[in-house]
Structure 1
Amino acid sequence: MARIILLQIAAAFIVALVALLVSGLSAGLSALLGGLCCALPNAFFALRLLSSVRKLGGANPMNFFVGEFIKIALTIALMGAVVLFYPGLNWLAFLAAFIVVMKSYLILLFRH
């Protein structure tokens, strides 16, 4: 699980660097924020699942569903905060980075 989260954070920084080099500072920052809007809630979800597995009694399926709901709510809240507080948002870079980070787990899936 940690490898996937680290890969997503690395993907966010790589996409931000590419956007920075191609389109400038605003696009680079927008891409970084878009990638982190996906990676941070996933990291929170992974930590929540890991802590629930290590509890006495083992994993509870309800923890998965509650964690998934929190992850979605946190993603929406982070995206809303970026849109609200960053007036120079480059939508293309923001959404492209979000999608790349969201699908970056496929790299690990097809690696072997």
Structure 2
Amino acid sequence: MVRIVMLQIGAAFVVAVIAALIGGYAVGISALLGGLCCAIPNAMFALRLYVGTLKPDGASPVTFFVGEFIKIALTIALLGAVVWFYREVHWLGFLAGFIVVLKSYFILLFRS
């Protein structure tokens, strides 16, 4: 799990650098923020599942579903916070960063 989260954060930085080279500094920051809006909740979810496995009974389905709800709520909150506080957001870069990190999860799962 940690490997996948670290690779997602790495993908966020890679897409930010590419976006900055193509569109400039503000587009790169927007892409980085979009990617982190996806990677940070995934990291929190992985941490919650790991802590759940340390219990004597192990992780339960409730741990998973509560963690997934928190992940979705945190994603929405981070997206809203970026839009609220970073007024110079470039939507194409922001969405590109978010989508690349979101889809990198599936690619990384099938990688050996």
TM-score by length of 1: 0.96
Q: How many percent of aligned residue pairs carry the same amino acid? A: 67
Q: Which amino acid aligns with 1:60?
A: S
CA RMSD in angstroms comes to: 0.9
Does residue 1:64 correspond to 2:82, yes or no? no
Unaligned runs of 5+ in 1: none
Q: Write the distance in 2 (CA, Å) between the matches of 1:25 and 1:57.
A: 49
Q: CA deviation at 1:32?
A: 0.4
Q: CA deviation at 1:59?
A: 1.0
Q: CA deviation at 1:109?
A: 2.8
Unaligned runs of 5+ in 2: none
TM-score by length of 2: 0.96
Find the counterpart in structure 2 of residue 89 from structure 1.
89
Q: Which amino acid aligns with 1:88?
A: E
Alignment of 1:1-112 (within 5 A): 1-112=1-112
State the SS of the aligned residue for 1:104.
helix
